Structure 1
Amino acid sequence: MKLVAPLNAFGRGDLALAGGKGANLGELVQNVFPVPDGFVVTTHAYELVAQGHDTRAYFEQVQPSGELRQAIAGAYAELGGGAVAVRSSATAEDLPGAAFAGQQDTYLNVVGEQDLLDAVRRCWGSLWTDRAIAYRAKLGIDAAEVRIAVVVQRMVEAELAGVMFTADPISGDRGRIVIDASSGLGEAVVSGLVTPDHYVIHPSGRTDFTPGRREVVIRGAAGGGVVHQSAAGPGPERLPERALVELARLGREVAAHFGRPQDIEWAYAGGRVHLLQARPMTALPPPPVGRLNPIQRRLCTILLEYLPERPYPIDMSTWLPDGPAGLMAKVMDSFGVVGAFEGFLREEDGVVYQLIPPTPRPTVRMLGMPFRFVAKARRYDPARWTEDRRFRDYLGAVKELAARDLTAMPWATLLRMPRQALALVRPVADLRIDYLPGTGLALLRLLVAVRLLGRRELFADLLYGARTRTTDANAELARLAGLAERTGALDADPMPAAFAAELAAFLDEYGHRETSSPILVTPPTWADAPETVLGLIRALAGVPSEHQKDDGALDRLLRHPFLRSKRRRARVVRWVAAARAGVAFREDSHFSFTMPQPVLRRSLLEMGRRLRDAGVLDRPEDVFHLRLEELEAIPDVAELPCADSGRLRETVRARAVKREELSGVRLIDPAAVFPVHETGDALVAGAPAGGGTATGPVKVIREPKEFGRLEAGDVLVCPYTNPSWTPLFQRAAAVVVDTGGAASHAAIVAREYGIPAVMGTGQATAVLRDGQVVTVNGDTGLVTGAP
């Protein structure tokens, strides 16, 4: 077992022996990058000393064996003695998704054998500091699986030092090199003690420079250790041009070698650049998408509304390609357009990383689309789509599949359930293909009519009044809210039996409705999270159930002089009814087509439960980190070989860590999708969605579990909406949304309830705060401060 070995003995495959930092540095040394000479005290040495102990106090007093002391002393002598840098190198650091920046200790300008041994011991002990333990717990890393090596390198007494990113950490631009530098050792930059000089090197070679303040300079002290000086000592004021060029060249080569953007620590001394550390950049935004055309922007608006959270691998291999998004792709393809809802998500390390603006492309089939469109519009009436035999057969198949007992199924039978649930959805796309032309034609006909009559402003209002499954659900929620108020059900424990029965009946009818996204399988449904429904009921308590606008728009249109004829009036009434039927078809088909989702979700969670019981997963929900193909490759969960079990556990752990790393990273820059509006003195601006103006206190609701926080008269500010959010509009004074457009569910329902709506602000939830009084103008799209 190697206790100590030179850096050049290790490469990127030696993580278990040299830790992340040691493995990466060894890889650089082997590929002739300018890395200071050094050696690694391996994880075997740590294991020899640890002997099952896991406290910092133990390592601060433990005495290494004679063999280990001799190995370290020999390597130090071979290095030439003198000053060295001693850095921790844990097996779970400097990895994609787990930088562990600053979690373990580094000691600079260590001089002498005894001081070196002390620094090594303290590095071992830093694996067990409170901050390191908490960081591992946050990432779900098992402490029992972590080991630590120690990297010892010849000390570089830097004139200038700092950090280089081979991609812009703010914009995600992979073409830029970003360098922070200051006088003395790089610890001042890394630890944030100084405002460093800031360089941005563009692909063209142009360099932007922002001078720092050099509040403190860290230098090596005579005899060991470091000193902090309050002002810059002798040395160059800024990096020489040749050093910048060399750093940029080295950065690009290191990034190319490792195949991903790198976070590199460097030092400049005696006219030479030295690389001290290289690790993958973490929490890096996806590359900028550039300027979007109107079609791309429109599609991204829809997708962002459907993707309020990052999809899991199980989403990517089940409901995303085969559920509503796949259905929309099939519909578009039938009309001769491909690429609108396919391949719009990019994965990295098995985790969704970026939303790529779709680029729809017409095909030769589009030439015949007008003829097919008209033929289907004449044959398939959206007002009668529920009478279609295909729809009735679909409902029966869903009911039969949902009734099966998942817990009693053998593993092989359970494995087939997801594909069976997904198979139910695919033929249903034909219903949308057949009935959407009738919807489109009815809407187009009404739009042309109101334009010719000079009543274009009435078009949106004329679509109100269509009875949909969403309006049915909202009415039922309002009724339940009244019942809860009368019986005190929301504060009673246990809940009154009569109310509990009504709630159960509601969930039986509407429980498959999504809480956050219709195109993901991982978020819970209303039935999975009844507390969401109770939150809606609580929010609606005390609100009159009849809150919708009347049918005044139709009355105003019929008063037009051209429509005095009974025949013309009757024709226009039929056209309005047809357009409303089309709107209802759009809403109700979505409601119905998501019915297999709960079956799919429950079958996946049942697999997760069995994998948890087999020791593969910690929680049933961890199954979401696996792809369906990976689950289907398990022949028998009860007899899973240890090697396969370990591989699955590591896959889940790595993807969970990557997902945690990306938790604060957007799939796409909202500014690219929602253009910055001229706001003047407004707080935020977005797309106007109608409804006039309203003033009230802000209430930021970020997720369904917060529904119960909304109070009557609040301005609802939220990151996204879907039909599940619309009952709140009965209580809100106005709604302001980060995503969405004028044709989104939120905008349509807000207009129906007569409240102002502003969509696609991109930043309302970040700018506005609870209790802040604002005025929302749904006609101009501006949200301004109010007394």
Structure 2
Amino acid sequence: MSQLGLQVPKGYFISEDKLTSLWMEAIPELVRLEATDQPSLPTYETIVQRLDQLSFPMKLYREINDLMLPNKTYIVRSSGLMEDHASTSFAGQYDTIANCTTIDDIIAALKQCIASLFKPASLNYWQTQQLDIQNLRMSVIIQEQISAVSSGIAFTLNPLTNNDRQLTLEVVEGAGEQLVSGLVTPEQLTIDWFSTIGPINVSQILSSDQLKQLQEQLLLIATFYGYPVDVEFCFSKDSLFFLQARPITTIRRKINEGNWTTTNFRDGGVAAQPCPGLMWSLYRESWQTTLEKFLIQNKLYDSTNIKQLSINHFARPYWNIGVVKEAMSRIPGYIEREFDDELGVYKNYQGDGYKSKLTVKTISHLLTVATRITKTTQQQRQTAAQQHKQLLETYQSIDKKIQSLSSITDQQDIEMLWESVINDAYLQSEQTYFWQVYVNTVQLSMKKTALLKKLPLETFFQLISKLGEVSHVQPLRDLYEIVEIIVTNEKFKQEWLINSPVDINTLLTKQPHRLDAQRIKVFQATFGYHSNRELNLLVPSYSEDQQLVVDLLKDYVDHPEKLTTAKRSFSQTLTDEQLGKLIEPYVTKWQRTKVIKDIKMLRELLWWREEFKDVSTRFYHLIRQITLKLGERYSQLGYIDQTEDLFYLEKETIHSFITNQLSQESLQKSVQDNRMYCQAYRHFVPPGDLMETSISPEMENLLVDTPSSLSGIGANDGIVSGKVRILLDPKDIHQLQAGEILVTRFTDTGWSHAFGSIEGLITETGGVLCHASIVAREFGIPTIVCTAHATENLKTGMTVTMNGTTGDITIQKGGC
């Protein structure tokens, strides 16, 4: 916090490792224990006596003495590891000791803090949570003690309601220790992040000016850390001081109204990281209009006044799974658990959940729905090729128009083209893609249950794989062909091996007629609408920067074993004969025709989903390019500070400015607020699902994330063994070694180019129908999704065996 220019009392920090080394000899019962052992500890009173007799190193005395100034009072603050643990809430259990004026006072306070680790209440919680001995650790801060007029704790979100743009304050007069210890009842305040605090004083303790100062500086802290924090602060007579900040670790899956999820949004990329205002507003409109039309047209929802179908929370878009499940319950054969498994949705129920049933009351409506769905599916299959062709023609036409824009193009012409792309071309593309997604989701729900009554799950996965030339695989093929050109030319190969990626890029720019340079240009022209983080408008496309392509190629040139593995992974399309052989052991000749027909339909629908996703990616590329053009012009005119500022504005805000309904000042304020909102959640891993707060305590217990056995949901068949590689961000993909098993939270489209060189894929979220699962099946990669805590329970270097059909994962002994 000092880096932000905020006032933080001078202090001395003792890390967990250093402090543990000071006290471990006093409690030999903890020495040489395995991590999961439950030691037999002496009583708290005995530990206190041992610590009293313990001598600390003279070096520590000297370091603390160097900190101390005459006539200053100090406070010793504890910060236990369990207080900041991701799945526990332990704050306030450990001691903080104030009013230390001598070094002996501070040493005694240190020992009291250490002893508080072993208080009966602390140990009871530790044992109840089945935490290992590594959790019996703390760090300590020795700070100058401020003579506080008022003190408090601030949360950068509302922990009671999960309002993600609201500060929550608890304030008392005087020192904060009485607040932490619960000796007084604090004044409680909530302040919206971006609200204007007026002259009317809403606090009995803090002035309006103090509240304004807190609001401003707490938001600075939130954006600095990039995740929700709780902050201890105090006001002296003249100044605001911040004492310490730590993550808010127990954010539950609750929201005031409705049930929401990021599934598909997260794995598709749009909710993989904070979603700036423009992208959010685009998704909000296309999702609402298309899903609403689909539900009404297919008699899946009673009212034409459908609820809001998406929200922006934790700077990520969530969609209304409550409404969708209500609609799906009207589809013949719907089973809630199977639906949730396909998408990777968190389950707040036991058993199979809701099942649609044929009764006298429901049969008529179910038949009507089935008929509507069949007709909708037939229309989509009949028109898909023509829609695809028209969208590609529109894309090419707009791409040429954007490329023709120059510094002398009239501002109004740029604005008109921007409005046309956003409101017409993009909507047409995205609504077509979403429509295909909805058709696929409904048809899979209807067909899969029936097919699995005849076929094993492993065979089902085989039948919906090897779709043939899926568009998102084609750029990888092209990259590998360029690598072949490089490694089979000795001169090229040596240059690529000995030079850095930046130097290679410079070389190619100076020698544009080289074969490798020409092929890279062809790649950029053909697949330049892709990027390393697709559906993130802030990330440049490959067409914008040759260096991005060089970086990808360099990794394969340096690691030829990855190329060998990748080339082996490309699969051919399943033929009719192969489909027949796969189902032959399980169906009669009378069933064969119907089963083959259903499988072919599902394969066709899955293929078109990926093709329309590819088209969607193209149109997001266009949106980025035209928004950059408009942003560059606005920046030159001084309307905004940076070209990229427009990406933080919702499309309605930009339209209002274009049509003179919004002032420049308001435009810039919106940029500032939305940028801050995204920054404040950039390092936060939000819950994938949010649910209403009005659920029973018993149901809440079902939602608590506790480590489970290593298993998930199989998404592609195959049993493989290999070393684990834990990665949490696609920028670290270069760390992958050929033949490793990639373990990550989820894989959006930015991970796809790594699939060719891995042996298996394990994710904590995702579903059988997510983009990553489809692409993994094209590469023939065994895949397991929805593996709770996989990135925590597995470690890089472990050897595991995974079963992509059953979802089981086994850690091999001695495999680390």
When normalised by structure 2's length, the TM-score is: 0.58
Decide which of 627, 632, 636 is 1:604's aligned counterpart.
627
- Partner Cα separation in structure 2 for residue 751 and residue 364 of structure 1: 26
Identify the residue that residue 414 of structure 2 maps to in structure 1: 414
2:718 is the counterpart of 1:721: no
**Equivalent residues in 2 for 1:269-284 (5 A)?**
284=248
How far apart are 1:371 and its partner, in Å?
Answer: 3.0
- Partner Cα separation in structure 2 for residue 242 and residue 594 of structure 1: 52
The amino acid of 1:482's aligned partner reads E
Identify the residue that residue 309 of structure 2 maps to in structure 1: 342
The 3 A distance-change label for structure 1 pair 354 and 499 is closer
Deviation digits for residues 110-143 of structure 1, max 9, x if unmatched?
xxxxxxxxxxxxxxxxxxxxxxxxxxxxxxxxxx
The 3 A distance-change label for structure 1 pair 675 and 244 is closer
2:472 is the counterpart of 1:482: no
Other structure's SS at 1:780 match = coil
Contact 2:395–2:619, Cα closer than 8 Å, also in 1: yes
Decide which of 316, 322, 325 is 1:359's aligned counterpart.
322
- Partner Cα separation in structure 1 for residue 366 and residue 589 of structure 2: 37
**Equivalent residues in 2 for 1:212-223 (5 A)?**
none
Identify the residue that residue 88 of structure 1 maps to in structure 2: none
Decide which of 169, 187, 190 is 1:250's aligned counterpart.
187
The 3 A distance-change label for structure 1 pair 618 and 438 is closer
2:595 is the counterpart of 1:595: no
- Partner Cα separation in structure 2 for residue 275 and residue 211 of structure 1: 36
Identify the residue that residue 525 of structure 1 maps to in structure 2: 541
Q: Aligned Cα RMSD in Å?
A: 5.6
- Partner Cα separation in structure 1 for residue 672 and residue 539 of structure 2: 20
Contact 1:344–1:358, Cα closer than 8 Å, also in 2: no
- Partner Cα separation in structure 2 for residue 363 and residue 376 of structure 1: 12
Larger radius of gyration: 1
Contact 1:531–1:705, Cα closer than 8 Å, also in 2: no
Contact 1:691–1:757, Cα closer than 8 Å, also in 2: yes
The amino acid of 2:284's aligned partner reads P
The gaps in structure 1 that reach 5 residues or longer are 1-92, 108-155, 202-207, 222-237, 269-273
Decide which of 547, 569, 582 is 2:605's aligned counterpart.
582
Other structure's SS at 2:742 match = strand
The 3 A distance-change label for structure 1 pair 776 and 558 is closer
The 3 A distance-change label for structure 1 pair 740 and 445 is closer
How far apart are 1:462 and its partner, in Å?
Answer: 0.7
**Equivalent residues in 2 for 1:192-591 (5 A)?**
195=113, 244-245=181-182, 247-251=184-188, 257=203, 263-265=231-233, 284=248, 287-290=251-254, 299-305=261-267, 306=269, 307-317=271-281, 319-323=282-286, 327-328=290-291, 331-332=294-295, 334-335=297-298, 336=300, 342-346=309-313, 352=315, 358-360=321-323, 362=326, 371=368, 374-375=371-372, 377-378=374-375, 380=378, 383-388=381-386, 390-404=387-401, 405-408=404-407, 409-422=409-422, 423-428=424-429, 431=432, 439=440, 443=444, 447=448, 450-467=451-468, 468-487=470-489, 488=492, 493-494=507-508, 497-513=514-530, 515-518=532-535, 520-528=536-544, 531-537=547-553, 538-539=555-556, 541-543=563-565, 545-548=567-570, 551=574, 554-560=579-585, 562-564=587-589, 569-591=592-614
Contact 1:440–1:582, Cα closer than 8 Å, also in 2: no
**Equivalent residues in 2 for 1:618-697 (5 A)?**
619-634=642-657, 644=664, 652=671, 655-657=674-676, 659-668=678-687, 679=708, 685-697=711-723
How far apart are 1:598 and its partner, in Å?
Answer: 1.3
- Partner Cα separation in structure 1 for residue 138 and residue 641 of structure 2: 49
Deviation digits for residues 277-297 of structure 1, max 9, x if unmatched?
68998865795224999x958
Contact 2:11–2:142, Cα closer than 8 Å, also in 1: no
- Partner Cα separation in structure 1 for residue 263 and residue 447 of structure 2: 25
- Partner Cα separation in structure 2 for residue 447 and residue 212 of structure 1: 50
Deviation digits for residues 35-66 of structure 1, max 9, x if unmatched?
xxxxxxxxxxxxxxxxxxxxxxxxxxxxxxxx
The 3 A distance-change label for structure 1 pair 561 and 441 is same
Other structure's SS at 1:415 match = helix
The amino acid of 2:625's aligned partner reads R
Contact 2:723–2:798, Cα closer than 8 Å, also in 1: yes
How far apart are 1:751 and its partner, in Å?
Answer: 3.6
- Partner Cα separation in structure 1 for residue 138 and residue 752 of structure 2: 52
- Partner Cα separation in structure 2 for residue 704 and residue 219 of structure 1: 43
- Partner Cα separation in structure 1 for residue 485 and residue 732 of structure 2: 21
How far apart are 1:420 and its partner, in Å?
Answer: 1.6
- Partner Cα separation in structure 1 for residue 446 and residue 177 of structure 2: 69
The 3 A distance-change label for structure 1 pair 219 and 374 is closer
The amino acid of 1:576's aligned partner reads I
How far apart are 1:541 and its partner, in Å?
Answer: 2.9
2:90 is the counterpart of 1:183: no
Deviation digits for residues 198-252 of structure 1, max 9, x if unmatched?
99x9xxxxxx9x999998988989xxxxxxxxxxxxxxxx999999555442355
Identify the residue that residue 784 of structure 1 maps to in structure 2: 811
- Partner Cα separation in structure 2 for residue 169 and residue 354 of structure 1: 27
How far apart are 1:460 and its partner, in Å?
Answer: 1.8
The amino acid of 2:399's aligned partner reads A
Identify the residue that residue 61 of structure 1 maps to in structure 2: none
How far apart are 1:446 and its partner, in Å?
Answer: 5.4
How far apart are 1:601 and its partner, in Å?
Answer: 0.8
How far apart are 1:581 and its partner, in Å?
Answer: 0.7
How far apart are 1:437 and its partner, in Å?
Answer: 7.6
Percent identity, aligned pairs only, is 13
- Partner Cα separation in structure 1 for residue 610 and residue 689 of structure 2: 27
- Partner Cα separation in structure 2 for residue 749 and residue 214 of structure 1: 45
The amino acid of 2:563's aligned partner reads A
Deviation digits for residues 616-669 of structure 1, max 9, x if unmatched?
6564334433444444455699xxx9x946x76666456545544433323337
Deviation digits for residues 729-751 of structure 1, max 9, x if unmatched?
22111122243123322223334
How far apart are 1:356 and its partner, in Å?
Answer: 8.3
Other structure's SS at 1:689 match = strand
Work out which structure has the larger RCO, using CA pairs closer than 8 Å and 6 or more positions apart in sequence.
Answer: 2
The amino acid of 2:421's aligned partner reads A
Other structure's SS at 2:538 match = coil
The 3 A distance-change label for structure 1 pair 407 and 279 is farther
**Residue correspondences, number:** 592
Deviation digits for residues 364-421 of structure 1, max 9, x if unmatched?
9979686365345347355543433x54443333222221133343223323333322
How far apart are 1:604 and its partner, in Å?
Answer: 1.8
- Partner Cα separation in structure 2 for residue 303 and residue 378 of structure 1: 27
Contact 2:440–2:605, Cα closer than 8 Å, also in 1: yes
- Partner Cα separation in structure 2 for residue 247 and residue 212 of structure 1: 29
The amino acid of 2:775's aligned partner reads V
- Partner Cα separation in structure 2 for residue 243 and residue 477 of structure 1: 58
